[in-house]
Chains A and B, each alone.
Chain A
Amino acid sequence: MLNKTAEIISNLVVASGVYKMTLSSRELAHDSQPGQFLHIRVNPGNDPLLRRPISVHAVEDEDKISLLYGTIGRGTRLLSKKKSGEEIDVLGPLGHGFDLSEKPDRAVLVAGGMGAAPLFFVAQRLKGLVKESKLLIGAKTKEGLLSVSDFKEIGCDVWQTTEDGSAGRRGYITDLFEQALLDQTIGGSIRVYACGPKEMMARTATIAGIYNVPCEVSLEEKMACGLGACLSCVVDTIDGLKRVCKEGPVFRSDEIKW
């Protein structure tokens, strides 16, 4: 069944306005693929009414998964108040994730802000299967660079930018992307996996296109059902409108009409 209850093991603040929630569920740990999301009912009853879609951050072990989320509105703020031992109603895993069937020699992960959340799961799955995983991570400030030590711990080569220059190079993460593609310390095929603000992903898509490198992006859109019924979360693609919740959230970057 897609609809299940999962026990909260922990729900801890990891940065200002960012929380990591660990859920106990053998089924979710087994079934979830990088890029997929859970549709979470924050409270029973009518307030908040709709579920909140949150991507899977990591599979911790065979019966635990974690979510990394920002408190961006009322729903996620209420979610951040949940205590360990409480149960939450979860629909998922939902959506189409990253295509990891083909392993490149070099994986380039491009993360902007909260975009680091689903990319950690990608790095986890690619560990040991690629010659190199490079994480390009950008945020407004140093505190917004999420999970950097976790990425390093699983062997990622981490390049950082911040808009205020408080860590890494000052600027946008896309400023480093071209350089990362050209870095031939380790040769071979490249694939790009990106998640972040729309402008960042559009820029990443353009550069990946110029260098003719396969690139996938994980999109975000306001959604209601999460199941492909309501047609709220559409995105314009070269094949017409597609649903972020169903055909996405991960798309090939050259498919999207940016």
Chain B
Amino acid sequence: MARMAVDVAGIRLKNPVMNASGTFNIREADGLIDIKRLGAYIPKSITLHERTGNPVPRICETSSGMLNSIGLENKGVAAFIDQELPFLARAGVPVIVSIAGETIDEFAETVAKLGEAKHAQKTVKAVEINVSCPNIDRGGVQFGSQPEMAALVTAEIKLVSSFPIIVKLTPNTGVFVEAAVAVEEAGADAISLINTIFGMSIDIMTRKPKIGRGYGGLSGPAVKPIAVKMVYDVSRAVNIPVIGIGGIMNAGDAIEFLLAGATAVQVGTANFVDPGIMMKIISGISDHLEKTGCEDVREIIGKVEL
């Protein structure tokens, strides 16, 4: 058996596979997967205060992909600490908490509140800073698409955070490499990308957008080549680990991201299609390593041959 462990943001993961935030809920996963086999688990993004999210329809299918505009519906950090953290503390899986916000203060306060929570220090291994949500009016893509702003958010959170920081970047900018370099300089411990790509779909009979908010974020296999290229570019520009995200549907897709330079991967949309897929991806990576004579998954990271 090839060794599957990787180190990301100072955390040792038993394998490089985790879910993308908002695509998998371990509370609803009873019998569908063995949670303990996951490299890490990332709950849906939390914010300082409760958010009710965007109007329905919140999703629509597109060619080999989907648009979503959930709008960060969540009950807020206090409810997360009360209701979710005790459960997560017993789940037997490293937890990375995704944090979103509309202002720098909101991000920082949420991280600080989480840090003070009873179970947090032993349960939460890192925070993922979501400065890339396309479905909110402020603090998402608006932060992540500007390198200076992304760096400022990272630096301010770094000041109050007792956790390693992963910054989740957006593809909706021409300066994503600059943003990656800027957040590294500001103290990020790892980078994850890509969040979803702005997209729109229109019903030709009603002439209305198929998403309640008018537009949303595109995910699924349709975005994978874009994501692989971005991970390739960013992993060559920074010295911190990169987590690859974008349309991973199977082990082969995950291996592509590793070869492109990702140290770990997140599986998103595929969980909606096959809730057991992450287990198959973990086994599939292991089988591939064995078949290709690799003893350690780290042997293939960044090893794309040009």
Contact = CB atoms under 8 A, between A and B. Distances in A.
B68 A224 contact: yes
Interface in A219-235: 221-235
A63 to B, nearest CB: 22
Contacts of B276: 3
Contact of A49 (B22, B57, B61, B275): B61
Given A49-B61, A225-B275, A246 B70 contact: no
B59 A49 contact: no
B28 interface: yes
B64 interface: yes
Contacts of B44: 229, 231
Contact of A229 (B25, B53, B65): B25
Contact of A232 (B28, B32, B70, B275): B70
A14 interface: no
Given A46-B64, A231-B44, A232-B59, 16 more contacts: A3-B32, A49-B61, A49-B65, A49-B221, A50-B61, A50-B272, A50-B273, A222-B59, A224-B59, A225-B272, A227-B32, A229-B24, A229-B271, A229-B272, A241-B52, A241-B53
B59 A230 contact: yes
Interface in A221-258: 221-235, 240-241, 246
A182 interface: no
Contacts, number: 100
Contacts of B269: 49, 224
Nearest to A228: B28
14 contacts: A46-B249, A49-B66, A49-B269, A51-B273, A222-B56, A224-B66, A227-B28, A229-B22, A229-B29, A230-B22, A230-B23, A231-B53, A233-B58, A241-B73
Nearest to A41: B273
B220 interface: yes
B215 to A, nearest CB: 15
Q: Which interface class (under 10, 10 to 19, 20 to 34, 35 or more) fits B?
A: 35 or more
A51 B61 CA distance: 10
Q: Which 3 A-B pairs have the closest CB atoms?
A: A229-B25, A224-B272, A228-B28
A131 to B, nearest CB: 39
A47 B25 contact: no
B63 interface: yes
A1 interface: yes
B218 to A, nearest CB: 11
Interface of A: 1-3, 41, 46-51, 75, 91, 221-235, 240-241, 246
Nearest to B221: A46
Interface string B149-190: 000000000000000000000000000000000000000000
Interface string B183-221: 000000000000000000000000000000000000011
A46 B25 CA distance: 22
Contacts of A241: 52-53, 73
Contacts of B293: none
A256 B53 CA distance: 18
Nearest to B74: A231
A40 to B, nearest CB: 11
Contact of A234 (B31, B61, B73): B73
A227 B25 contact: yes
